[in-house]
Amino acid sequence: MTATLLDGKALAARVRAQARETLAELGVRAGLAVVLVGDDPASRVYVRNKVRACEETGICSELHAFPADAGENEVLERVLALNRDARIHGILVQLPLPAGIDSERVLAAVSPHKDVDGFHVENLGALVAGRAKFVPCTPAGVLRLLQHGNVRIAGRHAVVIGRSTIVGKPAALLLLQRDATVTICHSKTPDLAAHARQADILVAAVGRAKLVTADMVKPGACVIDVGMNRLPDGSLAGDVDFASVKEVAGWITPVPGGVGPMTVAMLMENTVAAARESG
Ligand code: NAD
């Protein structure tokens, strides 16, 4: 059996095109500010992709780059200034921030109305209550991929591996809202494989290359790979052993070209929604 590929690259292009159309219909200008501190190479790549997607979508982007030794107050002041700036509808603080900066403090400073990443506790709380204004982009992209692929969620057993605030937990909440029965596994879960094998929908968001192997997947299950791991040879690998799992699964996302481009596309959608709200 060979799984159906859930093509995030193609779907992301459609989402961006739709966001561009919505902007044109609204006749508004949308602005996204990206705050980058330090010189983490992966962060630089992510930021470049986001800025490029803004150009394609017709969103005006601004990069606010700080050196790695920037002070927390300096970054906080910039975020507060961006909150007041009427040209800016979305503010994104690229994580991780350098060790000397309290990420929670910086994220809490972003206005919840401009929090297009959905990381502010007010938006995360609203997500728990089922009425989020901005849903974190990666889990939102996971849900969009499932919906677009006509993968049934209601009544199915979803197993999410990983419990981070930005991926695992919100992904589990979104699946629960759509009536899945949800199990969350993490680093302290004994016998991960036994849980994974129960999944109709398996979401891997761990950060360990090829952690999910074919023997951990129920035949016909939908496997969503959020992981992005840089291998010693420089290539990118997901958390799922794609070559073997695709022979067992019913649906699968590739890495690259799966969840990654969807994350950026959902950021565009959130930014357009923020611009619409303000206008
Ligand atoms: P994180 O480090 O914050 O969380 C990892 C989670 O995995 C933790 O909850 C931990 O308990 C769990 N875990 C660790 N080892 C485990 C094990 N052996 N078995 C079961 N669970 C284990 O990471 P994150 O920010 O949630 O990101 C996870 C992965 O997703 C990373 O590879 C990251 O690069 C990737 N990511 C991709 C996108 C995208 O757009 N595709 C966006 C965000 C993160």
At 145-175, the pLDDT tens digits run 999 999 999 999 999 999 999 999 999 999 9
Domain count, the chain: 2
pLDDT single digits (tens) 191-204? 999 999 999 999 99
Q: Calculate mean pLDDT across residues 5-19.
A: 98
Phi, psi of 33 (to 5 degrees): -105, 130
Residues 145 and 76 in one domain: no
Residues 144 and 215 in one domain: yes
Within a domain: 125 = no
Residues 38 and 100 in one domain: yes
Spatial distance between the Cα atoms of 269 and 16, rounded to a whole number of angstroms: 7
- What is the model's pTM? 0.97
Within a domain: 4 = no
Residues 83 and 146 in one domain: no
Tell me how crowded residue 70 is: count the other CB atoms within 10 A of its CB.
17
Q: Using alpha carbons, list the distances in angstroms from residue 3 to 92, 170, 240, 249.
A: 35, 26, 13, 5
Question: Partners of 222 in the beta sheet?
Answer: 201, 251
Active site residue 246: no
pLDDT single digits (tens) 103-131? 999 999 999 999 999 999 999 999 999 99
Active site residue 147: no
Residues 89 and 48 in one domain: yes
pLDDT of residue 279: 72
Quick one: how far is CA 3 from the chain centroid? 23
Q: What's the CATH number where 165 sits? A: 3.40.50.720
Q: In this model, does residue 272 exceed pLDDT 90?
A: yes
pLDDT of residue 278: 87
- Contact call for residues 98 and 68 (beta carbons, < 8 A): yes
Q: Using alpha carbons, list the distances in angstroms from residue 26 to 53, 116, 273, 277.
A: 19, 19, 11, 11
Residues 91 and 178 in one domain: no
Residues 152 and 256 in one domain: yes
Residue 191 structure tokens: 């016998």
**Mutation test residue for ligand 1: of 191, 206, 239, 266, the one with most atoms within 8 Å of CB:** 206
Residues 149 and 201 in one domain: yes
Where does residue 257 rank: exposed (0-12), middle (13-18), buried (19+ CB within 10 A)? middle
pLDDT single digits (tens) 30-79? 999 999 999 999 999 999 999 999 999 999 999 999 999 999 999 999 99
Q: Calculate mean pLDDT across residues 250-259.
A: 98
pLDDT of residue 1: 60
Active site residue 7: no
- Whole-number average pLDDT of the chain: 97
Residue 203 structure tokens: 């979401």
- Give the torsion sign (CA, 238, 64, 97, 92): negative
pLDDT > 90: percent of the chain: 99
Pocket of ligand 1 (CB under 6 A): 138, 161-164, 166-168, 185-187, 189, 192, 205-208, 226-229, 259-260, 263
Residues 87 and 33 in one domain: yes
Q: Calculate mean pLDDT across residues 236-241.
A: 97
Domain with 58 in it: 27-111
pLDDT > 70: percent of the chain: 100
Q: Helical H runs in the chain?
A: 8-26, 41-57, 72-84, 103-109, 121-128, 137-148, 168-177, 192-196, 242-245, 259-278
Q: In this model, does residue 85 exceed pLDDT 90?
A: yes
Residues 240 and 167 in one domain: yes
Q: Calculate mean pLDDT across residues 241-259.
A: 98
Q: What's the CATH number where 83 sits? A: 3.40.50.10860
Tell me how crowded residue 237 is: count the other CB atoms within 10 A of its CB.
19
